Structure 1
Amino acid sequence: MDFFSTIGGAIMTPLYYVISAIMIGFHKFFSLFLSPSGGWSWALSIVGLTLVIRMALIPLFVKQIKSQRNMQLLQPKVRELQKKYGHDRQKLGEETMKLYKDAGTNPFASCLPLLLQMPIFFALFRLLDQAAKKGTPHGFLNEKLAEQFGQSEIGGRIPLAESFWGARTWGDDPHALVMVVALFLVLAMTATTFMTQRQLMSKNMPADALTGPYAQQQKMLLYVLPVVFGLGGVAFPIGVLLYWTTSNLWTMCQQFYVIRNNPAPGTPAFAAKAERDRLKARRSGTETIDGGAGDVAVEELRPAQRQQPKRQTKAQRQQSARRDQQLKKQGEES
């Protein structure tokens, strides 16, 4: 146990410093026009922390999207391998991994953003939980800031450190309000998780990728992940739920932008983008002609404008007249 505690401390301690530094920076900014000990200044600091972390993870998100796209496009070849080596599980696994390697795809890359966020998630949980229960400072949080953070309440009635499960006493109105807010955030977290995964499957997966083991795995995650987060969310403090819901909203909007502007070939999103590009070209006066093998010509829809002759100066006109007279005189002499 001491070994695992040491390893856990070695991982969590740097995160405490990073998380607390970002939150204190945002807290000082919001304290310029909000109460420093109020819940809103700390709640907005959590939102700011979420945005900073998600912006830092954008390169990994791009890698995740590329990995998912390559996985989708490789599914027909994977099914061919399954037909060929279905009787030999070891050979099938070796050939499948070789296929992924040759294509430069890592099947585990799609999990990287989620896996990297989990330690941050638990670090924020412990930071808030211990600040509320013991006033324990972590990272750059001193005792005063830890006490403010742990005891902060939104509107003076909704503690950021309270959870749905910890506020089960319905006889007290503030506790009932905490349960309502916590339940709303749990449902929002669950719904955004489902919608993000659903968006990916319905818009950015080709028809032939919706069958087979990979598609079954995606469908299972579509329903399993929201249930897991929903069941676990009742034990999370409101501050942590705020972080996770904000992160999910960022993911959903970021994925919508990527799918809309850079969809995978052969998907509904790809067809929708092609239609938008065609309408845009038509409105701008040009339209791409598809000759069956891609874009082979561009048709100008606007009538060609008549080119006006260039205006000459007086000296140029006189020089041109003298040249014409010389040519005419030479013609008469000949």
Structure 2
Amino acid sequence: MTRLRKWITTIGFLPLLLASVAIVGIVLADLSYTGHVAGNGLWGGFVGLFIRSILGVSSWFSSSYGLGIIVFTILVRFVILPLMVYQIDSMKKMQSVQGEIKALQDQYPGRDTESRQLLAAAQQALYKERGISPFASMLPLLVQMPVLIALYQGIHNSPVLRSGEFLWLNLGKQDPYFILPILAALFTFGSSWLSTQANPQQNAMTKVMPFIFPFVILLTALAVPAAVSLYWVVGNLFQMIQTFFLQNPFKLKQEREAALRLEKEKARKIKKAQRSKKRSR
């Protein structure tokens, strides 16, 4: 019970409220669709639920499958928002002790078995002292991935969804003007760049990843139906906005600079007090 209360406190009221409303919306959308969607097995039934819900949402907008994909994608993103908040909070806690982890790694280089064991023990003691679970940030990712994969497969494998027209798009064919693939790549770059800038500890790999992911998304979006590209555009735009509000790198940079100034000021006062003490002797 204490752990659940702590989990709720970490996430906050608004993300949980939005997730609850989104779940109700998905259930209502599924119930409002009266047609039949085939699905074999547990996974097939899960994907079928998503297809029925998208079609149900589409029926709210005069069977506009494009709007159905957009609204349902946002609903799903709201459902997994609490997981993302928890994941980002865990990542922030891990980042806050990176300096101490680096000091421990310098103290125990890990050149032999004993040194590696001492390093592992010291790291575990530090995590326990700060109340950090090193695997906490992985759990939300493992939970949300099946949801996102089911959403992708539902859109990709449904002939009905890919039979519609939306704006300039034939949802079953590639975007003729490449607008959706470019937007999907740009929004992917935006969220990746914001997330990278929020991390004070960067290496060559973290610096190059914001450029690799958008390129992969661009090439893939050029080859898939516009219905899937539309899903990526909406999902990646949501991800970028979410990253800005939850991991605002500009705000985090200001906080780190303020903390550094405070630390320097504290060190300066200590040195001044030590000099005054020496003079008094």
TM-score, normalised by the number of residues in structure 2: 0.64
**Which of 193, 196, 206 is equivalent to 1:201?**
196
Contact map agreement 2:88 2:137 (CA 8 A) in 1: yes
Q: Which runs of 5+ in 2 are unaligned?
A: 1-38, 259-264, 267-281
Q: How many residues align?
A: 218
**1:66 to 2:97 alignment:** no
TM-align CA RMSD: 3.3
Q: Which runs of 5+ in 1 are unaligned?
A: 1-7, 133-145, 164-177, 273-291, 294-334
The aligned residue for residue 318 of structure 1 is none
**1:158 to 2:189 alignment:** no
**Which of 72, 77, 80 is equivalent to 2:103?**
80
**1:245 to 2:240 alignment:** no
Q: Distance in 2 between matches of 1:108 and 1:188?
A: 33
Distance 1:130 1:192, change over 3 A: closer
Distance 1:51 1:130, change over 3 A: closer
1:138-149 residue pairs with structure 2 within 5 A?
146=160, 149=161
Contact map agreement 2:189 2:211 (CA 8 A) in 1: yes
1:176-215 residue pairs with structure 2 within 5 A?
178-180=175-177, 183-202=178-197, 204-206=198-200, 209-210=201-202, 215=203
Note the C-alpha offset of 1:11: 5.0
Say which structure is richer in helix: 2
Please tell me whether Structure 1 or Structure 2 has the larger radius of gyration of its CA atoms: 1
Contact map agreement 1:121 1:240 (CA 8 A) in 2: no
State the Cα deviation string for residues 146-193 of structure 1 (Å, max 9, x = none): 3xx2321225x6321223xxxxxxxxxxxxxx332xx32222222212
**1:57 to 2:84 alignment:** no
AA in 1 matched with 2:217: F
State the Cα deviation string for residues 17-61 of structure 1 (Å, max 9, x = none): 431242133112101xxxx3xxxx101111111111111111111
Contact map agreement 1:154 1:160 (CA 8 A) in 2: yes
Q: Distance in 2 between matches of 1:42 and 1:201?
A: 35
State the Cα deviation string for residues 206-235 of structure 1 (Å, max 9, x = none): 4xx34xxxx445324323322332333333
The aligned residue for residue 224 of structure 1 is 212
The aligned residue for residue 103 of structure 1 is 130
The aligned residue for residue 275 of structure 1 is none
Distance 1:76 1:11, change over 3 A: farther
Contact map agreement 1:125 1:237 (CA 8 A) in 2: no
State the Cα deviation string for residues 229-260 of structure 1 (Å, max 9, x = none): 23333333211121121111112112222345
Distance 1:228 1:260, change over 3 A: closer
TM-score, normalised by the number of residues in structure 1: 0.55
AA in 2 matched with 1:162: K
1:297-312 residue pairs with structure 2 within 5 A?
none
Contact map agreement 2:88 2:247 (CA 8 A) in 1: no
Q: Distance in 2 between matches of 1:187 and 1:44?
A: 20
AA in 2 matched with 1:152: G
Contact map agreement 1:125 1:236 (CA 8 A) in 2: no
Q: Distance in 2 between matches of 1:230 and 1:108?
A: 31
Distance 1:115 1:217, change over 3 A: farther
**1:18 to 2:49 alignment:** yes
Distance 1:112 1:221, change over 3 A: farther
The aligned residue for residue 44 of structure 1 is 67
The aligned residue for residue 309 of structure 1 is none
Q: Distance in 2 between matches of 1:112 and 1:124?
A: 19
Of 57-66 and 97-106, deviating more is 97-106
The aligned residue for residue 268 of structure 1 is 254
